[in-house]
Structure 1
């Protein structure tokens, strides 16, 4: 897997700003690193979630309501 370290907003190089963080709010497993853009301030975790897993992740770890999106 190729991981892009270019800012998706301004295309500058992202820099590692936080390493080996853990989720103490929702308890998602693993450690996460945050890369930030020194030019525009955009930040992201690398690696991020892929399209197949992002819905499952938010459904499990960010259940902010009991609404079913299919019923909305």
Structure 2
């Protein structure tokens, strides 16, 4: 294996971490304000899949707060 290939193979992928406030704002824009998921995700810099996941988690938290 070449040095470059070995270097790439041993590097760990870095993941971005987003504050909860950013996730909440993005999810609210989609669920309550009617913004498109694709446009909101692009503006925040995440994939639509991440935005759907954030939205789902926040909705579950809100439902748990209302129930409890």
Q: TM-score range by the shorter chain?
A: under 0.3
Q: Max radius of gyration: which structure?
A: 2
TM-score, normalised via structure 1 length: 0.21
Q: Which has the higher helix share?
A: 2
TM-score, normalised via structure 2 length: 0.21
Q: Which has the higher contact order (CA 8 A, sep 6+)?
A: 2
